[in-house]
């Protein structure tokens, strides 16, 4: 069991799960529509989630 893999669910939830909730043009964030700002933020969070999983894997069992 590798519970650290749950971190990989975060980008999925940000991209797919929250999409019906954030699908709107207003409010604007930094002069861009909210949906575009959401996608940019989600894209920036994805490498962080992958890094957290890799870090936990290396601590748990070393290099594979």
Domain boundaries, the chain: 3-61
- Which residues face 32 on adjacent strands? 29
Q: What is the CA radius of gyration of the chain?
A: 15
DSSP assignment of 6-29 equals: GGGHHHHIIIIISHHHH--S-SEE
The whole-number pLDDT of residue 40 equals 92
The whole-number pLDDT of residue 51 equals 94
Asked if 52 and 5 touch (Cβ cutoff 8 Å), the reply is no
The whole-number pLDDT of residue 43 equals 95
The whole-number pLDDT of residue 47 equals 95
Nearest to 25 by CA among 16, 11, 38: 38
Q: What is the pLDDT along the chain (64 residues), one digit of tens a residue?
A: 778 888 899 999 988 888 888 888 788 888 888 888 889 999 999 999 999 999 988 888 766 5
The whole-number pLDDT of residue 49 equals 93
């Amino acid at each position: 069991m590798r519970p650290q893999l749950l971190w990989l669910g975060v980008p999925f939830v940000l991209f797919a799960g929250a999409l019906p909730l954030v699908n709107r043009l207003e409010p604007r964030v930094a002069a861009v529509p909210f949906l575009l700002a959401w996608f940019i933020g989600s894209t920036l969070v994805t490498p962080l989630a992958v890094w957290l999983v890799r870090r936990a894997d290396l601590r748990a069992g070393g290099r594979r």
